Amino acid sequence: MNLNKNIVVFGGTGYYGRHIVRSLLGNGIIPAVISRNAENAYAMFDGQAKIIEGDVTDIQLVRKALKNQEAVIICLSAVKPGLIRRMKEIEYDSVIDIINVAKEYGIDRLVLLSVYTMRMDVLEKLGIPEFGKLKFELEKVVMSSGLNWTILGCAPSMELFFAFLRNRKMAVPGGGRKKVPSVAAKDVGIIAAKAAMRNDLAGKRFKLTGTEAYSFPEVAGIISQKTGKSIKHLALPLPLINFASAILLPFYPYVRYLYKSLRLLNNFPEDEADKVPDEYTCLSEAFGHRLQSLNDYISEKIAKHEL
């Protein structure tokens, strides 16, 4: 198996992207990373990565970044208040440019980070089909690109559970009573780096997840048991957030995006949750890596005095 060593990461300073870059560096590979702020990016990676300053929507920057590369990792996200209006431009249009330039330059290996599962039937039932349309269409483009592609469908980060935890209360809009998969960001970095280095995973889509799916009340119970401190689970009314997001939409569309995310979180398909242990086994066998369980993640946070 040939190992790719010249790798560029689009979205390398994002939440998952920074872990991918650090994993590549740990494997002795100095990746190219595109960033709108070179100074911050250099500091993030202690000056070890090759930083190319600019915006990923600039086709000339894309050409510069892809020059002399062997593999491409794409983990672009516009899920930030200042970028949400540019989601199609960043997460779809720029990726099409990257694919086209990669083909032009003879770069064959492509790894795309996407959402955990593509269930348009669920989105249509919830009345928000547009929420997953970009990802759905982009995956179709990648699959028909003729490149040696691998898609990594990432579950939400395990930190999601702790985003709603304050003062021993886990207050979740909608309650979060459905079981959902989750994954440690560090494991995403390890798997994505391994996938880009390898050339024997063509045409495969993996779901990145920990060992089991959990609901928010279950996680509150686990934290209570492990810490010996009672964590109270509270369900906040989701319709209030819907109302607020509709009012704020013209001025602050990010809130509307969050509302749709919360709707999905509270309606995650049970059949997908039931498959999580099998998806975990498939993933760990394919990459020879034992991904962290949520139980271990919680224990680690306790050891670091973060709980």
Residues 87-97: pLDDT tens digits? 999 999 999 99
| pLDDT band per the 50, 70, 90 thresholds, residue 238 | confident
Percentage, residues of the chain above pLDDT 90? 81
Q: What are the sequence ranges of the domains in the chain?
A: 7-155+184-209+274-292
Q: Is 296 helix (H, G, I), strand (E, B) or coil?
A: helix
Q: Identify the helix (H) or strand (E) that includes residue 141.
A: helix 130-143
pLDDT of residue 2: 59
Bridge partners for 281 per DSSP: none
Which residue, 26, 70, 22, is CA-closest to 196?
70
pLDDT at 47 over 70: yes
Q: What does the alpha-carbon distance between residue 192 and residue 208 come to, in Å, rounded to a whole number?
A: 10
* For range 227-251, the mean pLDDT: 79
Q: Which of 221, 241, 222, 242 is nearest to 232 (CA)?
A: 221
- Spatial separation of the C-alpha atoms in residues 186 and 167, rounded to whole Å: 26
Q: What is the DSSP letter of 94?
A: H
What are the phi and psi torsion angles at 263 (to 5°)?
Answer: -60, -45
What is the pLDDT at residue 146? 97
Give the mean pLDDT of the chain: 93
Which DSSP helix (H) or strand (E) runs through 189? Answer: helix 185-197
* Listed range (138-147, 178-187, 253-262) with the worst mean pLDDT: 253-262
- Return the pLDDT at 188: 98
Angle, CA of 253, 209 and 128, to the nearest 5°: 30
Strand partners, 181: none
Give the mean model confidence (pLDDT) for residues 14-42.
96
Give pLDDT tens digits for 182-196. 999 999 999 999 999
> What are the tokens at 90?
């960043």
b vs e for 218-245, b when ≥16 Cβ sit within 10 Å of the residue's Cβ?
bbbbbbbeeeeeebebebeebeebbeeb
Q: Which of 70, 133, 73 is nearest to 98 (CA)?
A: 73
pLDDT at 260 over 60: yes
Whose CA is closest to 115, among 167, 89, 79, 67?
79
Give a three-class secondary structure readout of 229-268.
CCCEEEEECHHHHHHHHHHHCCCCHHHHHHHHHHHHHCCC
pLDDT recorded at residue 304 = 94
pLDDT at position 9 over 90: yes
Contact 299, 162 (CB under 8 A): no
Q: What is the CATH number of domain 7-155+184-209+274-292?
A: 3.40.50.720
Tell me the CA end-to-end span of the chain in Å, nearest whole number: 43
Farthest-apart Cα atoms in the chain, separation: 58
Under 8 Å between Cβ of 109 and 8: no
